[in-house]
Amino acid sequence: MDQLATAIIVMSLVAFLINLVFGMRSDFGALVHAALERDWLTFRSGASVFIILAAALSAGAGRFLLSGVLLFSAATIRLLGPSITRTVWGFNDLNSHIVSEVFFHCLAILGAALGLAGVALGVLSDLQTAPRVTIALTLGLTGLVAVNKSATRTRKLCSEISRRSSAVARSFAHLHAMCDPDKVESRTDELKQKCFEDIDALARALDTRLNTGYRAIGTPILPPPVYRRMVAELRVAARSGDKNAAAWRGAEPKVRKITRACSKWTDEMA
């Protein structure tokens, strides 16, 4: 069992490092990742499930140290992996993306807390029952607090993105109502400037990570190339001021989809 657990951990770490190398910003990395993405996700999901099952069997046999190491390893793979897998999703997948990120991130946090508890129980096996229960409960409650904080961050970010995307839509509505291709008015220039300010505010919110404040390991609402392309379309649309322009016709449905997906997570009290 020990050799099997060691092999699983080593395999997971090697796969993680390989994906880290191939996931870097380069043409070669993009090509390789596009070819292997589905296989990697399948492997990571299967490896995580296998590790969790091995941890449960170890805990059932009273080997808490091994169980804790296995759980913590599986949780670490999930916590460090989201931004590195670089999975591509679009505007139609926003709701499922948010739900899955919240669920699996919180599950990984709980797994890390339980893994640490197992390690502590295994290392401190000579302690009496009461202190060991106290340690396990403390680590478990810490995990729950971290889960609540992560979920609160998601609700807060979604509320802010919903607010800013709605502001972009309103600014463009005012601009289109006032814009006349045959006139150059100071009022129109002010409305265009307001559109640019709201677009920049939305871009900053979309660049914020959904589940953690650490950019290196967090996942955004949308992949950076996707929302940057939308932001570029919005800026072109703001410069033209024409509601029939191709840039606005392409960007407006995307803004609506962002607002609709994030509004389901709106929490003004978060």
More confident residue, 264 or 85: 264
Residue 269 lies in a domain: no
Q: Are residues 211 and 114 in the same domain?
A: no
Mean pLDDT for all residues in the chain: 77
Residue 16 lies in a domain: yes
Q: Are residues 12 and 132 in the same domain?
A: yes
Q: Which residue, chain included where needed, has tokens 């939305």?
A: 202
Q: Are residues 104 and 167 in the same domain?
A: no
Do 210 and 239 contact (CB within 8 A), yes or no?
no
HEC string of 11-78 equals HHHHHHHHHHHHCCCCHHHHHHHHHHHHHHHHHHHHHHHHHHHHHHHHHHCCCHHHHHHHHHHHHHHH
Last residue of a domain, one of 114, 129, 152: 152
Each residue of 53-105: pLDDT tens digit? 766 776 677 777 777 777 787 777 777 765 444 456 788 888 888 888 888 88
Residue 43 lies in a domain: yes
Q: Are residues 134 and 184 in the same domain?
A: no
Q: How many degrees, rounded to 5, is the angle at CA 98 between CA 94 and CA 100?
A: 115
d(Cα 177, Cα 180) in Å, to the nearest integer?
Answer: 9
d(Cα 236, Cα 219) in Å, to the nearest integer?
Answer: 27
Q: Are residues 146 and 161 in the same domain?
A: no
Provide the number of structural domains found in the chain. 2
Q: Are residues 205 and 132 in the same domain?
A: no
Residue 227 lies in a domain: yes
Each residue of 124-139: pLDDT tens digit? 777 787 888 888 889 8
Q: Which residue, chain included where needed, has tokens 């340690």?
A: 135
d(Cα 151, Cα 138) in Å, to the nearest integer?
Answer: 20
Residue 235 lies in a domain: yes
Coil/strand/helix, residue 209 = strand
CA distances from 238 to 13, 102, 142, 191, 233 (A): 47, 34, 47, 9, 9
Q: Are residues 48 and 81 in the same domain?
A: yes
Residue 270 lies in a domain: no
Q: Are residues 135 and 219 in the same domain?
A: no
Range of the domain at 220: 157-263
Q: pTM for this one?
A: 0.73
Q: How many degrees, rounded to 5, is the angle at CA 149 between CA 148 and CA 154?
A: 95
Last residue of a domain, one of 121, 152, 183: 152
Residue 22 lies in a domain: yes
Of the candidates 36, 27, 31, the one whose C-alpha atom is nearest the C-alpha of residue 85 is 36
Q: Which residues contact 182 (CB under 8 A, 6 or more apart)?
A: none
Chain-centroid distance of CA 4 in Å reads 31
Q: Are residues 148 and 166 in the same domain?
A: no
pLDDT above 90 as % of the chain: 28
Residue 218 lies in a domain: yes
Q: Are residues 46 and 167 in the same domain?
A: no
Last residue of a domain, one of 135, 152, 169: 152
Lowest mean pLDDT among 117-121, 140-144, 156-160: 117-121
Q: Are residues 138 and 229 in the same domain?
A: no
Q: Are residues 12 and 86 in the same domain?
A: yes
d(Cα 127, Cα 92) in Å, to the nearest integer?
Answer: 53
Buried b (16+ CB within 10 A) or exposed e, 120-136: bbbeeeeeeeeebeebb
